[in-house]
Amino acid sequence: RFQACVYFASVFQAMSCGIHYLASVFMAVTPNFVCGFPGNVSSVLFHNSSASSIEDIWTLWTSTEDYLVIQLENGEIWELDQCSRSKREVNLDLAYEYKGNKSVFPCSDGFLYDDTKWKSTVVTQWDLVCDREWLAKLIQPTFMLGVLIGAVIFGDIADRLGRQRVIWFTSAGQFVFGIAVAFTFDYYSFVIVRFLLAMVSSGYLVVAFVYVTEFVGIKARTWASMHVHAFFAMGIMIVALVGFLVRTWWVYQIFLSIATLPFVLCCWMLPETPFWLLSEERYEDAQKVIDTMARWNKVSTACKVSELCSVQQDDLSSGRTGDDDTSSTKKHNILDLFCNWQIARRTITVWLIWFTGSLGYYVFSLSSVSLGGNEYLNLFLIGAVELPCYIIACVAMDKLGRRNTLIPFLILSALICVLIMFIPQDFNILIILANMAGKFSIGVAFGLIYLYTAELYPTIVRSLAVGSGSMMCRVGSVVAPFCVYLRSVWIFMPLVATVYFFQLLVGIMALLSGILTIMLPETLGRPLTNTLVEATEMGRNKKSCSEKTPPAHSGAALEKIEMFGQERISADK
């Protein structure tokens, strides 16, 4: 009962991470626009259609290469492009085609935007178009850079100061910075506050993952850790829903920020994890938390910290000999992940999977609104498809193994990316279904790699391995927005063709990752390794690790030691 309350309270706030990660999909939309003009309009001409106001023409606008012809009340005739305007020297009659002389002027009177779909976005708020368009394209990459930095900073702080304090600070920070974004006064303050929001959002997600795994028992840990991602996906679905209902960007941001306000009001009730307290030798505080858990769960005899620490100390004393003691006290660095060919090949493969999973995840998510049809429904389905994928991943991991699940889903995602290239652009429904299938398959691989990485490396470098993989993941999330936005640079490529190009790129990388994964060892049912020698042997001899058994202990003591050791591994993760 206690663990269930702590788990669902913690992962509920993970929805806010999914919300803020994808909020820019609708907040930074660039609607149709043309250059502003001096004066009042008397008539508007667009090809063979005429109207009395520009608002009546937007429904006919189909290409960025189109232009409007307007006649002002003083008789002047102007041609309005997106980034320039031209004044006709001869004003005899109002016609769309004109071969005479024209004077070209910059858009010194601002821009006119199509507000039929979005009343206001950050693009229309600060005119992030034409020569300032690159500023709009930096909104999501700078956010992802904050995600990268926040994961590193708050992960380290959580190890030093505790999970509880970081949970408090980052959850409150998400609410405060989320609201502050809506009241920023210019583009630069907007980006800075969003950067801080990204840091606390990423920090919460990383620490919450550790927090819940330290409270959940061994049997449920796989399901519990995987479904933290499911709540993140629910946040994406909330973005689609709020985006559909609210079309003004700052109101949209406020609604997204208050979605998880209940957790902010009660997060101070969450306790510190006993395992962090034990690692800091705060035994009395750890005992208090354990006693509280026992009362909630109606356990008559609570676990005694003194007994647990006594058994653990005996195990460590009897198990350390010679080289093991030296290796445990040695300071390890990133070079240890390349100490020999077996480990180096493993590291390169794991890094590629982390990068490909993150790149594919965000390319599929960010590009979903550009596939045609209803962009709100597209994003909602992209989030919803993750929910069953994590259930299938959990079942397959336990039944088929980690490697045997990872390989087919990586290759499947590659095949789907290639298949999308051959679907005619008119088949919007088929394209969306294929995009969902691609997100499903890459989502399984992306969720699985967290646990698989921790099992592939020995205790002495496990935290380093998962941390370095997470860094590659963040690099992929920073690169993904540029992949989606590159269509503004390659103007000769259609929108959908550009999206397809990068999905093909994801497909090639996924295929390469799937092939390299064949050389990785299976870790299902095998004991965790402690040294680099054992980890290397696991790759060379498939039976060597499974034949090893841990030293014998008495029943209850063994269970406690295993529980403690496994939880510390999750904390490292």
Higher-confidence residue of 465 and 439: namely 439
Flag whether pLDDT at 54 surpasses 50: yes
Q: With beta carbons less than 8 A apart as the criterion, state whether 285 and 538 touch.
A: no
Burial string for 267-294 (b: 16+ CB within 10 Å, else e) reads beebbbbbbbbbeeebeebbbbbbeebe
Flag whether pLDDT at 178 surpasses 80: yes
Per-residue pLDDT at 332: 66
CA 141 to chain centre: 12
How far is it, in rounded angstroms, from Cα 30 to Cα 127? 10
Confidence of residue 198 (pLDDT cuts 50, 70, 90): very high
How far is it, in rounded angstroms, from Cα 106 to Cα 87? 11
Domains for the chain: give ranges and CATH numbers: 1-31+120-270 (1.20.1250.20), 33-116 (no CATH), 337-536 (1.20.1250.20)
Q: With beta carbons less than 8 A apart as the criterion, state whether 210 and 14 touch.
A: no
The helix/strand/coil state of 47 is coil
Confidence of residue 187 (pLDDT cuts 50, 70, 90): very high
Q: With beta carbons less than 8 A apart as the criterion, state whether 347 and 536 touch.
A: no
CA 463 to chain centre: 21
Partners of 71 in the β-ladder: 43, 77
Partners of 104 in the β-ladder: 86
Per-residue pLDDT at 279: 73
If phi > 0 it is left, if psi is from -120 to 50 it is alpha, else beta; for residue 202 that is alpha
Confidence of residue 502 (pLDDT cuts 50, 70, 90): low
Flag whether pLDDT at 376 surpasses 50: yes
pTM above 0.85, yes or no: no
The helix/strand/coil state of 102 is strand
Q: Which residues are CB-contacts of 67 (< 8 A; sequence separation ≥ 6)?
A: 34, 79, 80, 81
Per-residue pLDDT at 547: 39
Count of alpha carbons within 13 Å of 196, Cβ hemisphere only? 17
pLDDT digits (tens, 9 = 90+) for 71-108: 887 778 888 888 888 888 876 777 777 787 888 888 88
Q: Which residues are CB-contacts of 331 (< 8 A; sequence separation ≥ 6)?
A: none
Nearest Cα residue to 460 out of 400, 528, 380, 398 = 528
Judging by DSSP bridges, how do beta strands 68-72 and 111-113 pair with one another?
unpaired
The helix/strand/coil state of 93 is coil
CA 322 to chain centre: 44
Count of other CB atoms within 10 angstroms of residue 2: 17
How far is it, in rounded angstroms, from Cα 239 to Cα 178? 14
Helices and strands, counts by H and E, the chain:
24, 8
Indicate the average pLDDT of the chain: 79
Per-residue pLDDT at 194: 95
**Mean pLDDT for the stretch of residues 527-534:** 77
Cα dist from 512 to 82, 99, 410, 419, whole Å: 42, 55, 9, 17
pLDDT digits (tens, 9 = 90+) for 405-446: 999 999 998 888 888 777 777 777 888 888 888 889 888 888
Confidence of residue 254 (pLDDT cuts 50, 70, 90): very high
Cα 520–360–481 angle (5° rounding)?
140
The H or E element spanning position 69 is strand 68-72
Place of tokens 């009897």: 318
Confidence of residue 326 (pLDDT cuts 50, 70, 90): very low
Flag whether pLDDT at 195 surpasses 60: yes
Q: With beta carbons less than 8 A apart as the criterion, state whether 158 and 112 touch.
A: no
Flag whether pLDDT at 190 surpasses 50: yes
Beta-sheet strands, E only, within 189-262: none
Per-residue pLDDT at 68: 83
The H or E element spanning position 208 is helix 187-215
The sign of the CA dihedral 494, 500, 506, 511 is: negative
Give me the DSSP letters along 414-473: HHHHHHHHTS-TT-HHHHHHHHHHHHHHHHHHHHHHHHHHHHHS-HHHHHHHHHHHHHHH
Amino acid identity at 194:
R
Confidence of residue 238 (pLDDT cuts 50, 70, 90): very high
